[in-house]
Structure formats: structure tokens, C-alpha cells
Structure 1
Amino acid sequence: MIGHALLVVGICAATLAYGRAWYACRNEWPRRRGLSWLAGAALALIALSPPMMHFGHARIEGHMVQHLMLGMYAPIGLVLAAPVTLALRTLPQRTGRTLVSLLASVPIRVLAHPVTAALLDIGAMFLLYLTPLYDFMHDTPWAGTLLHLHFLLAGCLFVWSIAGPDPAPHRPGPRLRLGVFLVAMALHGALSKYIYLHGYPLDSASTLEQRRLAAELMYYGGDIAAIAMAIAFFAALFKPRGTARHAGPNRKTNQAPNHS
């Protein structure tokens, strides 16, 4: 379980870094952003807590609850906290320029494209639940750790590509992002129905009733995440244009103007 311990340490370290930056910008940074990060980090840590780890390993319903918390709900909280924007407000100018250049690089642009993000996030679920990978993950500790890390990072990438408030150079227009989002959520729902009807994963030690309950959790839990993402997407889409100039850091002082 060393891998999971390192994952927990990483989340705690990121939360401490976010908290320091939030304190540095406490008079300008919206409280809702900071609370969003705390909520996302709390959900991730609960999903990785010993009771949840035991529940997720022993029963497929527990695994599905972990999947929802770690791969869907926690990423929404973390991404809507706008950590990149906060970093640009507090980092030294040279480091901030390096971060902006990294975000604009071709590999990041490809990785953060909504289609790529959807394939890494939703597509990986098809591979996990419709192949023997699920049982392999449960029998191999390091594979379980990598899976949880993938859930968290792929979920964050997908939310960021669709509705993230952070700056994203060369981000596709809202029509393409909305289209990818609708297709991805439809595929997520279709996968949960397929699992329910055919009792996947077939080689799992759980009973058919347990697998069907897990599929129901996946279906309805995915709907809740989709609603939250849709609200964030349309809220950003119809945000008054006048607030756009406050999104980036002040180049002279490396502090952004007041932002509500």
C-alpha cells in the first residue's frame, strides 16, 4: 500500500501549496475557489482512506463509489478551484512564463484536447470493466494504485478540457467541447447499462446482484457529475465579458486585481 500512501501524500502536498497561494492572495482570491479545492481534495482523500480502500477491494459496489469520488466528483472540485490561475498570481514572473509556455506546448495541447481527455477518461472505463483488467487490478497492488492515479488525473483533465476556468491556450470552441461532453456522458451511461444487462466484469468474484448495484451507482452517480459539469460549463460560457480581463496575473506586480 506504499503507492496509495504516496498518492495521499501528493494530494496533501498539493493542498498545502494551494493553501499557501490562497493565503498570499486572500484579499483577492474568491473564497468559493478555495472551498472548491478543499472539497475536491477531501473527496479524494476519503476515497483513498483505509475503510474505503477495504470496501473497494472487497466489493464491487465499494469500487464504484471510489470511482465516482476519485474519478468524477473530486476532479470537479479541484479543477473549478482554478489552481493554474492561482499559481500564475503567486509564482515569480519567470516561473509563470514557463508555466504559460508549457500549457501552450503541442504535447499539452494534444493531451488537453476534449477528445483526447474523453478517451483517457471515459474510454479507459470500457477497457477496465469489459476486459480482465478489473480482476488484475484487484490482484495486483501496484496496478490498483496506478488505476486510482489514472482515475484522478484523467478526471481532472476531462473536466479542465470541458469546463475548466483556468487559462487554456488554443482551447477548442464551446460547440466542440459541449459535443464531446454530451457524447462522453452518453457513453458513460451506455457502459453502465451494458454492465447492468450483461453482468460485467464477468470474471469478478462479486455476485450478479452486486454488479448490477454497482452499475446503478455508476449510472446515477455519473448523472450527478454530468449536471455539475454542465452547470460549470454554461456558467463560464455566459459569464460577463468584462470579467475576462481579471483571469490572468498582473505582469508588473505578479498579483491579480480584485476578482470576485
Structure 2
Amino acid sequence: MHHHGGMTQLGPFSFSTMWTWSPDWVFLLAGLVVLGLYAAGVVRLHRRGDRWPIGRMVGWAAGVASMLAVTCTGLNDYGMVLFSAHMIQHMVLSMLTPILLLLGAPITLALRALRPAGKGRPRGPRELLVALLHSRYVRVVSHPAFTIPLFIASLYGVYFTPLFDTLMQYRLGHVFMMVHFLFTGLAFFWPIMGVDPGPHRPGHVMRIIELFMGMPFHAFFGVAVMMAGHPLVTTFTAAGAPPGTNLLEDQKLAGGITWAFGEIPTAIVLIALVYQWMGSEQRHARRRDRAEERSGDAELEAYNAYLASLHKGDRPRGAGPASAPAASTAQGAQTAAAAAPTVPAAEAG
């Protein structure tokens, strides 16, 4: 597919030529499958009477749509012959699609939609997913000390070494690179977005620091590409490009796209983080209020029961009916206390 399988020469790169339907079957099928699975999970929750936030569904659908927009359109054809078009693909797949998909909270949905295997049965998909989330492998792969260098290396390592030219000779190499960009982005933003459970859940401030640790490298890379005085990669040639393309100008455009694109996901992530932060503060406040209400009532009831027992002090303890209300209130306090921890857990979910 490197030479477009006998395709005619592409016309000038423009918005109209970009948005033509040109499916890449790997991504098209993958996109439809994950959309279908997600929808099935939501349907199962609804049948059970559980709500699943609409915002998460929109996030997931938008994530899949953004992936298809850069892999199943004319942009994918141009991505084979123009550095700038390829960079748009790279940026969307590594920095926009992952954020939108993570806002869809797919792991949470899977954990809630998959049924537990039950006692004595072999481990089902849900148990395997939980085991995977707790595995050392995932702990390493989602650690900032791994994800931030990986995120940076997938920029510098791909374009400043012969790797890009090697991969672009093969259709499979191109697909592999796109998939790699997507997974690098998912790994980088997963601990930061923090909608889904994961091994590393830093506080909100730490997440913002993590986000900003990766960004200067990203911006610097874009500037380095813009400043380069010679073609960085040999894949894009004047012969393959649309007629009249200046390869160096196109490379400068690619660098500019990279540099400018860093701001978009940063803004989206910051907004999402502040929103989550406010939500978690409100939840903590509600939890504290409820805990106070519960313990306050229980103490009051116990105290009243104690006063009542003093008042009937002439009776032997536990003989008369007077101790019955005291016992029942004590039991009430116990059941209230026993019920206490389960309430916030349900709400937090």
C-alpha cells in the first residue's frame, strides 16, 4: 500500500480532499467492535436498573469517531505521502483519541457490566480484568516514570531515527505505528485522567504536574521539526507528494501542527481534572455530613436510653419493659453503624 496500490496521483491537500471516505479496515473494524462492546455494557447496566452517565457515552463515541476520522478518510491516504497529514494523524491518535476514550471510563463499565464468576467456578473475564489491573505489569506500564519517557520517546525515537522510514515501507508497519501512538497516549493519560481505576492514582495536583512534565518535550519537538533545514525522513518524496508540494514547507507545517496541538489536550485534561476535583471534594463533604448525622443520631439515642434507664433506676436491670427500648435503640445504633460504611461506597461508584 506504500505506493497506493496503483492509485492515481492525489490532488492538492485541502479540507475537501481530506474528508473523503477511504476506510482502513483494521481501524474501522476495531472501532465498530469497541463501540458495540461499550453499547452492550451500557444496555446491560440499564436492564439491571443502573444509570451510566451520558457524558461518558459521548466521550467514548467521540473517541472512536476521532480515531475513524484520521484513519478512514482521505487523510489516511495523504498521511502516506505528506508529513503534515501524517502528523495530524499522529497528534489525534496520541493526544485526542486517548483522552476522549478515557473519559468514557471503559474499565469501570467493564467491571460493572461483567458478571462475577461465582464461588467455585473458574475465573471469568471480570476476574481476569481485576487480576490484570493489579498485576505488576500494569503497575509498571502505568507508572509515570514509564509513561512520560515512553510518550517523549515515541516522538523523538520515531522521527529522529530511521525507524519511521523503515515502518512506512510496509502497510503493517504503518498500522503498527498508528496503534502504537494510540496506546502510548492511553498509557500517558490514564493515570492523569483518573476516571477509571488503576494502580497509580496520584492526587489532583500531582496529576497536573505529570501532565505538564510531558508537554515541554512535546513543544520542543514541534519547534525542532519546524527549524530543521533538511528533510528529517526519506519516506515523503516529491514524486509521491501532490504536485507542487514543497517538502520542507510541508515539514515546517508538520512541526507547527505538533507544536500547536499540545495545547488542545492540555486544555481538555485541565478542564476535566478541575471538574473531577470539584466532584471529589463535594463527595467528601457529603460523606462527612452523613457520617456526622448518623453518629450524632446514634449517640443521642444511646444517651436517651441511658437517661431512661437511670429514671427507672429502682428496677433490676433487664427485668422490666423499660430496658426493651434501650436494647432496641442500641441495636438500632449498631445496625446504623454497620450500614455506615456501605453508603459512601455505593455513592462513590
TM-score (norm: length of structure 2) = 0.65
Please give the alpha-carbon distance, in whole angstroms, between the structure 2 residues aligned to 1:34 and 1:162. 20
Q: 2:100 aligns with which of 59, 74, 77?
A: 77
Q: 1:55 aligns with which of 75, 78, 99?
A: 78
CA drift at 1:90: 0.8
Distance change (3 Å), C-alpha of 1:150 and 1:242? same
- 1:37 aligns with 60
- 2:266 aligns with 226
Secondary structure of the 2:173 match is helix
- 2:142 aligns with 112
- What pairs with 1:1-260 in structure 2 (closer than 5 Å)? 4-26=24-46, 28-94=51-117, 95-199=125-229, 201-204=231-234, 205=236, 207-241=247-281, 243=283
Q: Deviations over 1:175-207 (max 9, x none)?
A: 443322211011100110111112475233361
Between 1:81-90 and 1:129-138, the stretch displaced more is 129-138
Distance change (3 Å), C-alpha of 1:166 and 1:190? same
CA contact (8 A) 1:29 1:258 kept: no
Please give the alpha-carbon distance, in whole angstroms, between the structure 2 residues aligned to 1:120 and 1:211. 23
Identity %: 31
Please give the alpha-carbon distance, in whole angstroms, between the structure 1 residues aligned to 2:280 and 2:137. 31
Please give the alpha-carbon distance, in whole angstroms, between the structure 2 residues aligned to 1:175 and 1:87. 28
CA drift at 1:234: 2.6
Q: Alignment length, in residue pairs?
A: 249
CA contact (8 A) 1:113 1:171 kept: no
Q: What code does the residue aligned with 2:274 have?
A: F
CA drift at 1:210: 0.6
Which structure has the larger Rg over C-alpha atoms? 2
Please give the alpha-carbon distance, in whole angstroms, between the structure 1 residues aligned to 2:257 and 2:43. 38
Please give the alpha-carbon distance, in whole angstroms, between the structure 1 residues aligned to 2:202 and 2:153. 20
Q: Deviations over 1:114-144 (max 9, x none)?
A: 2312222232111112112222232222211
Q: Which has the higher helix share?
A: 1
Q: What code does the residue aligned with 2:278 have?
A: F
Structure 1: stretches of 5+ with no match in the other structure: 246-255
Please give the alpha-carbon distance, in whole angstroms, between the structure 1 residues aligned to 2:159 and 2:230. 6
Over aligned residues, Cα RMSD in angstroms? 2.5
TM-score (norm: length of structure 1) = 0.86
CA drift at 1:237: 2.7
Between 1:98-107 and 1:212-221, the stretch displaced more is 98-107
Secondary structure of the 1:239 match is helix
CA contact (8 A) 2:159 2:233 kept: no
Please give the alpha-carbon distance, in whole angstroms, between the structure 1 residues aligned to 2:197 and 2:209. 20
Q: Deviations over 1:40-77 (max 9, x none)?
A: 00110111114121111121111011112211111111
- 1:253 aligns with none
CA drift at 1:7: 3.5
